[in-house]
Amino acid sequence: MSDNFAHDPRERIAHSRRRFVHGLAIGGITLASGLWKPSAFAANAGASMPVLNGTRLDLNIGASRVNFTGRTRPAITVNNSLPAPVLRWREGDTVDVRVRNTLPDAHTSIHWHGLVLPANMDGTPGMSFNGIAPGESYRYSFQLRQSGTYWYHGHSMPQEQSGLYGPLIVDPIEPPPYRFDREHIVLLSDWTDLDPMALVRRMKKVPGYDNYYKRTLGDFIRDARRDGLSATLSDRGMWGRMRMTPSDISDINAHTYTYLINGVTPADNWTGQFRSGEKVLLRFINGSAMTYFDIRIPGLKMTVVAADGQYIHPVTIDEFRLAVAETLDVIVEPAGQDAFTIFAQDMGRTGYARATLAARPGLAAPIPALDPRPLLDMSGMGHDMSGHDMGGGGDDMHTGHGMADMPMGHGRNTMPMHPPSENGNPLVDMQSSASEPRLDDPGIGLRDNGRRVLTYAAMHSLFPDPDGREPGRDIELHLTGHMEKFAWSFDGIPFAGAEPLRLRYGERVRMVLVNDTMMSHPIHLHGLWSDLEDADGGFQLRKHTIDMPPGTRRTYRVRADALGRWAYHCHLLYHMGMGMMREVRVEESA
């Protein structure tokens, strides 16, 4: 395997980027002897994950063997635990964590997702530090300047996929603006028996491997009768030129993955207890590598009180979509029955994770059927491509303007200007006419389903804009890709060939993201908050991860208040590894 996922001959790889990408491509882990079984949790499905709450901790990253599917497979564990232990700290504390690498032949790292801390504590190999070599340790030391629900995970591919992830809870100094009697962490993840690097190679060779639902001749005949032959041929032609089908909802799904809650399979049914009438706080964390989950608890309303660790005005819903790396805190009040199913189906409706809230151990509630499989459509996602070239080289879709540094006032609801780097680019197979953020859209598969579904538009931070200044400039980036080559990038330029984005310390900038692809991408900026704007450009919601559904154009404000080199990437693990990443440098002068 090359020391880089991408294979663009134009790549110019600097030394630090080589070090980072080398971290992405590590494989072939030699396992420690012995067998660790997740059945330790399954035997007592109400058992909690291990909890560590001291301010001085030792975390040992090592190799273990696990069995989720009937096959014993290699995994990466922390203190012999998968998921990694819950870390429970208090706002204002200074923590000192020594992370020791006991893997025999692989560097490792830990990134504290969503925490604001110095760059050398961020845990991104090749940017903030060199990674932790086998047999060595690294001391993380930082003050906790926030509270809420977060998580931590490896930033050395493929270790996050192999089990290196865990919850991180920071209790507030001041009481929260809501009351609860009991709480449970609900950590979602996706497990594969495949070696993650073998999965990467499969995606490069056959990116549609898990798409079992491609349209057939019978579908063509039915559509032609309904829509007419000409319209059906035109529709099939557009999809063909993009090398996609309407059932391309996710790259990898339950045909490969087993979905877990707190490290427990659906069959083993993790259980959290309650007493009737209690207010129960559920801390949802999407710690998966590649899976969006749509989550509901039949029979219970959920009141959302925090997003990405930050308080919001409470909003009551039936269901929500949780993008990879997002967290969401909800309060439920179980009553009227002894058991409720926490049901988390994947976005493509190929499988689910499941747990139970129960009045006592051993109870279970009915498991809902999967919703009907959704299908993508062009116009509903800003990809109405009639009259446009789909090959990434259409002159009518290019303006020649650079996107990296645009003057303040660039319109938030205008047709996108595609950067010249997309023009004729073999790594770009589609472009979007996206002009709106569509914050009120619950997303494909959730529209008009008879349930009240959470949207970004429904969430508002409980505090005003923490900065208050208007951004001094806009930085526009397009999320780009090529489905058939399984290549991903910003502006058609993979990470290894891209120049850093440079911010001046203290400045306020507006990030403008345009999703030119027909897949969702959760975009995470390390070290800095992302303050999502509403459709009119006003402050709405503080987050650490911004979900970008297909064909959307969303904007958010960033205050460059942390010096250093920061990763900025899609949090779909293999999209990041294939190039959808940039470096952001916050400098005294840029």
- Residues 115-167 have pLDDT tens digits of 999 999 999 999 989 999 999 999 999 999 999 999 999 999 899 999 999 99
pLDDT of residue 24: 35
Three-state secondary structure call for residue 381: helix
Q: What is the pLDDT of residues 156-207, one digit of tens each?
A: 989 999 999 999 999 999 999 999 999 999 999 999 999 999 999 998 988 7
Query: For residues 490 and 584, is the Cβ–Cβ distance under 8 A?
Result: no
Q: Is pLDDT larger for residue 211 or for residue 536?
A: 536
pLDDT of residue 38: 40
Beta bridge partners of 525: 568
| Distance (Å, whole) CA 450 – CA 464 | 33
pLDDT of residue 151: 98
Q: Is pLDDT larger for residue 307 or for residue 424?
A: 307
Residue 325: what are its φ and ψ, rounded to 5°? 85, -10
In a domain, 328, yes or no: no
pLDDT of residue 209: 67
Q: Which two tokens stand for residue 21?
A: 């990408």
The yes-or-no verdict on residue 325 having pLDDT over 50 is yes
Q: What is the pLDDT of residues 495-511, one digit of tens each?
A: 999 999 999 999 999 99
Angle at 242 between CA 241 and CA 246, to 5 degrees: 115
Provide the pLDDT confidence category of residue 432 given band limits of 50, 70 and 90: confident
In a domain, 255, yes or no: no
In a domain, 283, yes or no: no
Three-state secondary structure call for residue 66: strand
Q: Containing H/E element for 23?
A: helix 15-24
In a domain, 198, yes or no: no
Q: Which two tokens stand for residue 528?
A: 């800095």
Provide the pLDDT confidence category of residue 386 given band limits of 50, 70 and 90: very low
pLDDT of residue 530: 98
User: What burial class does residue 387 get, using C-beta atoms within 10 Å of its C-beta: 0-12 exposed, 13-18 middle, 19+ buried?
Assistant: exposed
Q: What is the pLDDT of residues 100-112, one digit of tens each?
A: 999 999 999 999 9
Query: For residues 267 and 289, is the Cβ–Cβ distance under 8 A?
Result: no
| Distance (Å, whole) CA 233 – CA 241 | 12
In a domain, 196, yes or no: no
The yes-or-no verdict on residue 251 having pLDDT over 60 is yes
Three-state secondary structure call for residue 536: coil
In a domain, 151, yes or no: yes
In a domain, 449, yes or no: yes
Residue 6: closest CA among 15, 244, 476, 20:
20
- Percent of the chain at pLDDT > 90 equals 72
pLDDT of residue 213: 60
pLDDT of residue 375: 78
pLDDT of residue 30: 27
From 114, 143, 176, the end of a domain falls on 176
The yes-or-no verdict on residue 564 having pLDDT over 60 is yes
Q: What is the dihedral of CA 141, 146, 150, 154, to 10 degrees?
A: -20
Find the domain containing 97 and state its range.
15-176
pLDDT of residue 2: 33
In a domain, 457, yes or no: yes
Provide the pLDDT confidence category of residue 220 given band limits of 50, 70 and 90: very low
Range scoring the smallest mean pLDDT among 160-174, 206-220, 470-484: 206-220
The yes-or-no verdict on residue 3 having pLDDT over 90 is no
Beta bridge partners of 166: 152
The yes-or-no verdict on residue 389 having pLDDT over 80 is no
User: How many CB atoms neighbour CB 18 within 10 A?
Assistant: 14
From 122, 142, 176, the end of a domain falls on 176
Query: For residues 461 and 310, is the Cβ–Cβ distance under 8 A?
Result: yes
Three-state secondary structure call for residue 126: coil
The mean pLDDT value of the chain amounts to 85
Range scoring the smallest mean pLDDT among 20-34, 208-222, 254-268, 523-537: 20-34
User: Which CATH number covers residue 166?
Assistant: 2.60.40.420
The yes-or-no verdict on residue 320 having pLDDT over 60 is yes
Q: Report the number of distinct structural domains present in the chain.
A: 2
Q: What is the pLDDT of residues 21-69, one digit of tens each?
A: 333 332 222 233 333 344 333 333 445 799 999 999 999 999 999 999 9
From 176, 192, 209, the end of a domain falls on 176
| Block residue for tokens 């949790």 | 41
